[in-house]
Amino acid sequence: MPTLKINGEEKSFDAPEDMPLLWVLRDILALTGTKFGCGIAQCGACTVHLDGKPVRSCLLAIGTVGNRAVTTIEGVGATQAGARVQKAWLDLEVIQCGYCQSGQIMSAAALLAVNRNPTDVDIDAAMAGNICRCGTYVRIRDAIKRAASEA
Amino acid sequence: MREWTNFSQGVSRRHVVKAGLASGLVLALHLPLRAANEPEQMPDNTAGQFAPNAFIRIDHSGKTTLVMPQVEMGQGVYTAVAMILAEELDADFGQVVLEHAPPSDKLYANPIFGIQVTGNSNSIRAFWKPLRVAGAAARAMLVHAAAAQWQVDPASCSAAGGKVKHDSSGRVAAYGDLADAAGALPVPKDPPLKDPKDFTLIGKPVKRLDTPNKTDGKVVYAIDAMLPAMKFATLAQSPVLGGKVAHVDDSDAKKIPGVRQIVVLDDLVAVVGDHFWAAKSGLDAIDVTWDEGANANVNSTDIWNALRAASRTDGVVAKSVGDVEKGLTEGNRVDAEYELPFLAHATMEPQNCTVALTPGACEIWTGTQVATRVQSVAAQAAGLPLDKVTVHNHLIGGGFGRRLEADMVASAVRIAKQVDGPVKVIWTREEDMQHDVYRPAYRDVISASLTDGKVVAWKYKVSGSSIMARWLPPAFQNGIDIDAVDSAVDMAYDIPNLQVRYVRAEPPGVVTGFWRGVGPNNNVFATECFMDELARKAGKDPVEFRRTMLDTNPRLKAALDLVAEKADWGKPLPARVGRGVCVQPSFGSFIATVVEAEVDEFGEVHLRRVTSAVDTGIAVNPDTIVAQLQGGLVFGLTAALYGEVVIAKGRVLQSNFNDYRMLRIDQVPKIDVHVIKSGEDPGGMGETGATAGPPALRNAIYAATGIALRRLPIDRQALAVKRA
């Protein structure tokens, strides 16, 4: 039975090795904060962290996760960068429908964890994989800078 | 401001459009607890609470529940509606709790549509007065209850923060303690409303109530609904629009672990499994032969040719002022045609619906803009009376008009009828994109004549499919779709001779529906593109040209002047960089926008800067006004740069975000929005940016290159001076 470390807890479950992490999180573990958007790693709604690095969980077979720690939107607030990003997102009212924002926040938190003072170019590189259909990009950019400034 | 027309009582006037609805509950089994402001399940009754109307409930503890008649899909309406109610109620805003309204046209009909719909950017316009009256009536009853208790004149009492105070004696009573006494009083029909100068909430930047749970995964969209023993399904409809299932070979699919059942209906195949992944893997393994039916040879080329032919017919006159034919013979005549493509909605939350069906009842978990329609569609599909269908509505992961439809509910119920126990049906992104209800393709034929640098005659003809004829037949009368001519019959400029015509032309096989911006999306585009061409013909600056024709539209003129100033209109720019302007009177808001863009040698377009000025009347929650314009502009610019759904052999060619592209953060520049202070009643906002972006961008390209594009999306080849 596969076991993964998710948000600091060991979770065992019954699922095939080739099943994408997204569906284990959502449909087996009921961690529904991670979203399904496209299924082909084009939109970023399913972004989670593996050992702090952002990955698209919709194409990530659980058999390839190994011992790496999985962090989802439900757990990212326990990290410094995650908490700062969540706060900045509310301070600047980034969010509209919110469906993509789990993925946006995960990508932004991963960026800030390795880059204390990201430039516009850094932000573009880190965030261009995340689509927001409501068009909140301007505020995402500002909120990342706000979160960085409060570090 | 426009008149509000209740379409359930017949329509004689334009103006209305689009829709959606609100209702529901969020089921929380298996799910994290929701925060205080996340909508809760509607109680079965209001016993023991002060419930003076459909929107307000106050219990003995003082807990104030506000029922949301309009659905939240990101536009901020839950916060704005709560602000309006709480303003007149003098509630303690920090303590209010929100609830989705259940399906009920009787209690929660949108006053403009006559049914329960969220759409046409009209939530605040439609509910502004009714919500204020609801709040003020409740407040008056609470004040009277307190005054009676104290045996004083109600006029000597005041209310604030959920309490009534007798000013001279200093006595105070909390709303919760007054609930029973207030509930026994008659509801005043015409309670006094606050003078806007006394507003304490409206007009102040208030933090959104729906967003805290959207930062930590706690929010529950319909796609997150979880029920005990639920199964998961995904479906395939015929790739050829309207086709039927001919033969299914499911032998490989059945071997896939976790696949529980294959459901074959006349028009779709669904796989039911232990989780979505099993269902999707099963669907991929199924070999379906489709009876392609009548649409097997439908393609975009033929659809365009038919639409062009239709656009050369006379159509029906939707508006006529002066003598347009005579006017066209005088002055300098200019003609042009504009074409806009089919578009998909591509909401980030794919279509989904969860159904729990038992012999006597049907429960639905979905996110919809049209709750009562969902209820009736589910009842019909389930073969149950309406009152046996419960609809749990949810916060929506993007509506844009797609969730004004109930097709995803009908198919989910039909699948559920074949399945033991509850089932969640989720569409793949590909299914979502290839079985959308598409924004109509439009063709606009315009002729105008210029005299002394002004337009003296304007003949405008819009051709396309009618959404209203299908979606709200009372709004299609005398051959005119009132949505399709919106912002054409009431265009912004002073033109003495004007005629608007409408030609209905239905494409074979393609069902069309409302898409953010609706009719104005087409009409503002064609009008504003042509205005730039006319300005050039007249030898005038595009801003100055427009200004001279806006004397009777001072709010729009003021917005134009402000945006010109803020966008540095007229300041020199490098080669192949241009500024384009757009003004629009749409949705009851007056907006002027300038896009600055660069066209590179390969014809690629780079956005440099976007500026808007908006007079939307009283800005209920000003930061939401800014956010809606910023986001809407990105939505519209995305369509202008990339959006086109193409049909070949009866199939939609686009399938996912790789071939139906979206603007991404690295392409989006600074977007500045300037909100003009106004005391007018509030206008609509949700769709305005989507309408403003495309013409402003196209006009920027025109300024940068001299090339007058007349179709969307932007044709890079036409703009290239070098080949990549």
Radius of gyration of chain B from Cα atoms? 27
Give the sheet arrangement for strand B172-174, strand by strand. Answer: B157-160, B163-166, B172-174
Residue B261's domain spans which residues?
Answer: 222-293+351-426
Min Cα separation A88/chain B (Å): 10
Shared-domain flag, residues B308 and B264 = no
* Cβ contact B595:B579 at 8 Å: yes
Chain A residue with CA closest to B258: the answer is A15
B24 pLDDT band, cuts 50/70/90, is: very low
Shared-domain flag, residues B165 and B264 = no
d(CA A78, CA A74): 9
Under an 8 A CB cutoff, do A99 and B217 touch? Answer: no
All residues at 6 or more sequence positions from B205 whose CB lies less than 8 Å from its CB, including other chains: B621, B622, B623
pLDDT of residue B186: 96
pLDDT of residue B78: 97
- CA-wise closest residue to A37 among B88, B463, B429: B429
Which position has the higher pLDDT, A151 or B312? B312
- End position of a domain, from candidates B426, B454, B475: B426
CB atoms inside a 10 Å sphere around CB B54 = 17
* Cβ contact B610:B669 at 8 Å: yes
Is the pTM value of this prediction over 0.80?
A: yes
DSSP A55: E
Contacts of B280 in chain A (CB under 8 A): 39
CA B9 from chain center: how many Å? 23
Under an 8 A CB cutoff, do A35 and B397 touch? Answer: yes
Residue from the list A16, A42, A135 with its beta carbon closest to the beta carbon of B634:
A135
Please name the residues between 122 and 141 in chain A that touch chain B, using a CB distance below 8 Å.
Answer: 123-125, 127-141
Q: Which phi and psi (to 5°) does residue A57 adopt?
A: -75, -10
pLDDT cut 90: percent of chain B above it: 92
d(CA B174, CA B50): 13
Shared-domain flag, residues B478 and B416 = no
Q: What is the mean pLDDT of chain A?
A: 97
Shared-domain flag, residues B373 and B451 = no
SS3 for A39? Answer: coil
Give the 3-state secondary structure of B567-600.
CCCCCCCCCCEEEEEEEECHHHCEEEEEEEEEEC
* Cβ contact A1:A48 at 8 Å: no
Helix A80-91, helix A101-114: angle, nearest 10: 130
Tell the residue number behind the tokens 């003020």, with chain if given: B136
CA B268 from chain center: how many Å? 28
- End position of a domain, from candidates B213, B241, B270: B213
Q: What is the dihedral of CA B85, B88, B91, B93, to 10 degrees?
A: 60
Query: Concatenated DSSP letters for B93-131?
Result: GGG-EEEEPPS-HHHH--TTTSSS---TT-HHHHHHHHH
d(CA A41, CA A49): 14
pLDDT of residue B45: 58
Planar angle of CA B37, B80, B223, nearest 5 degrees: 50
Which position has the higher pLDDT, B11 or A121? A121
pLDDT at B17 > cutoff 60:
no
Under an 8 A CB cutoff, do B348 and A102 touch? Answer: no
All residues at 6 or more sequence positions from A3 whose CB lies less than 8 Å from its CB, including other chains: A10, A11, A12
d(CA A58, CA A18): 11
Q: Is B583 part of any domain?
A: yes
* Cβ contact B92:B222 at 8 Å: no
| Interface check B656 vs A, CB under 8 A | yes
CB atoms inside a 10 Å sphere around CB B430 = 18
pLDDT at B219 > cutoff 50:
yes
Instruction: Retrieve residue A100's tokens.
Output: 């993509």
pLDDT of residue B723: 78
Contacts of A132 in chain B (CB under 8 A): 348, 634, 665
Under an 8 A CB cutoff, do A23 and B277 touch? Answer: yes
Question: What is the per-residue pLDDT across A32-88, written as a single tens digit (0 to 9) for each?
Answer: 999 999 999 999 999 999 999 999 999 999 999 999 999 999 999 999 999 999 999
DSSP B639: H
Contacts of B75 in chain A (CB under 8 A): 96
All residues at 6 or more sequence positions from B580 whose CB lies less than 8 Å from its CB, including other chains: B532, B542, B594, B595, B597, B695, B696, B697, B698, B699, B700, B701, B702, B703
Q: Is B1 part of any domain?
A: no
Tell the residue number behind the tokens 């969307």, with chain if given: B712
Domain count, chain B: 3
| Interface check B688 vs A, CB under 8 A | no
Shared-domain flag, residues B187 and B287 = no
* Cβ contact A84:A111 at 8 Å: no
Min Cα separation B158/chain A (Å): 33
Checking DSSP bridges between strand B454-464 and strand B497-504, what pairing results, if any? parallel
* Cβ contact B71:A97 at 8 Å: no
CATH number at residue B311: 3.30.365.10
Min Cα separation B318/chain A (Å): 33
| Interface check B28 vs A, CB under 8 A | no
CATH 3.30.360.10 fits A3-71, yes or no: no
> Which of A72, A138, A139 best probes binding to B when mutated, by most B CB atoms within 10 angstroms?
A138
Q: Is B510 part of any domain?
A: yes
Averaged pLDDT for residues A13-24: 97
pLDDT at B43 > cutoff 60:
no
Planar angle of CA B496, B502, B505, nearest 5 degrees: 160
Shared-domain flag, residues B550 and B410 = no
B576 pLDDT band, cuts 50/70/90, is: very high
Interface pTM, i.e. ipTM: 0.98
pLDDT of residue B46: 78
Shared-domain flag, residues B356 and B489 = no
| Interface check B627 vs A, CB under 8 A | yes
Min Cα separation B162/chain A (Å): 26
B195 pLDDT band, cuts 50/70/90, is: very high
Q: Is B433 part of any domain?
A: no
Q: Is B2 part of any domain?
A: no
pLDDT at B38 > cutoff 50:
no
Cβ-Cβ contacts under 8 Å between A and B: the total is 184
Under an 8 A CB cutoff, do B395 and A23 touch? Answer: no
Min Cα separation B667/chain A (Å): 9
Give the 3-state secondary structure of A60-89.
CEHHHCCCCCEECCCCHHHCHHHHHHHHHH
pLDDT of residue B617: 98
One-letter identity of residue B662: M
Please name the residues between 374 and 433 in chain B that touch chain A, using a CB distance below 8 Å.
Answer: 395-400, 426, 428-429
- End position of a domain, from candidates B213, B239, B271: B213
Q: What is the dihedral of CA B302, B305, B309, B310, to 10 degrees?
A: 60
CA B433 from chain center: how many Å? 18
Question: What is the per-residue pLDDT across B246-264, written as a single tens digit (0 to 9) for each?
Answer: 999 999 999 999 999 999 9
d(CA B674, CA B692): 14
Residue from the list B75, B656, B670 with its beta carbon closest to the beta carbon of A38:
B656
SS3 for B535? Answer: helix
Question: What is the per-residue pLDDT across B691-723, written as a single tens digit (0 to 9) for each?
Answer: 999 999 999 999 999 999 999 999 999 999 987
Q: Domain A76-149 is of which CATH architecture?
A: Orthogonal Bundle (1.10)
Q: Is B724 part of any domain?
A: no
> Which of A21, A23, A97 best probes binding to B when mutated, by most B CB atoms within 10 angstroms?
A97
Tell the residue number behind the tokens 């300005």, with chain if given: B535
Question: What is the per-residue pLDDT across B477-509, written as a single tens digit (0 to 9) for each?
Answer: 999 999 999 999 999 999 999 999 999 999 999
pLDDT at B123 > cutoff 50:
yes
pLDDT of residue A116: 95
Tell the residue number behind the tokens 């759904």, with chain if given: B645
All residues at 6 or more sequence positions from B393 whose CB lies less than 8 Å from its CB, including other chains: B21, B22, B23, B24, B25, B71, B100, B101, B103, B222, B366, B367, B368, B371
One-letter identity of residue B678: S
* Cβ contact B469:B504 at 8 Å: yes
Q: What is the mean pLDDT of chain B?
A: 93
Question: What is the per-residue pLDDT across B637-693, written as a single tens digit (0 to 9) for each?
Answer: 999 999 999 999 999 999 999 999 999 999 999 999 999 999 999 999 999 999 999
pLDDT of residue A1: 85
- CA-wise closest residue to B610 among B666, B559, B667, B669: B669
Shared-domain flag, residues B606 and B689 = yes
Averaged pLDDT for residues A3-18: 97
Which residues are B568's β-sheet partners? none
Checking DSSP bridges between strand B231-237 and strand B423-426, what pairing results, if any? parallel
Q: Is B318 part of any domain?
A: yes
| Interface check B255 vs A, CB under 8 A | no
Dihedral of CA B485/B489/B492/B495: which sign?
positive
Averaged pLDDT for residues B618-635: 98
Shared-domain flag, residues B412 and B336 = no
| Interface check B343 vs A, CB under 8 A | no
Shared-domain flag, residues B99 and B240 = no
Report the Cα–Cα distance between both ends of chain A, in Å, rounded: 40
Instruction: Retrieve residue B535's tokens.
Output: 């300005």
All residues at 6 or more sequence positions from B134 whose CB lies less than 8 Å from its CB, including other chains: B52, B53, B54, B55, B56, B85, B88
Which residues are A54's β-sheet partners? A49
Query: Concatenated DSSP letters for A105-150?
Result: HHHHHHHHHH-SS--HHHHHHHHTT---TT--HHHHHHHHHHHHHT
CA B113 from chain center: how many Å? 14
pLDDT at B319 > cutoff 70:
yes
| Interface check B29 vs A, CB under 8 A | no
- CA-wise closest residue to B397 among B515, B216, B221, B656: B221
| Interface check A95 vs B, CB under 8 A | yes
pLDDT at B26 > cutoff 90:
no
* Cβ contact B676:B618 at 8 Å: no
Min Cα separation A19/chain B (Å): 7
> Which of A6, A26, A27, A74 best probes binding to B when mutated, by most B CB atoms within 10 angstroms?
A27
Shared-domain flag, residues B192 and B239 = no
One-letter identity of residue A77: G
pLDDT of residue B27: 21
| Interface check A25 vs B, CB under 8 A | no
The domain limits of chain A are 3-71, 76-149
Instruction: Retrieve residue B355's tokens.
Output: 């159904």
Shared-domain flag, residues B281 and B308 = no
Q: Which phi and psi (to 5°) does residue B71 adopt?
A: -90, 145
pLDDT cut 70: percent of chain B above it: 94
Which residues are B440's β-sheet partners? none
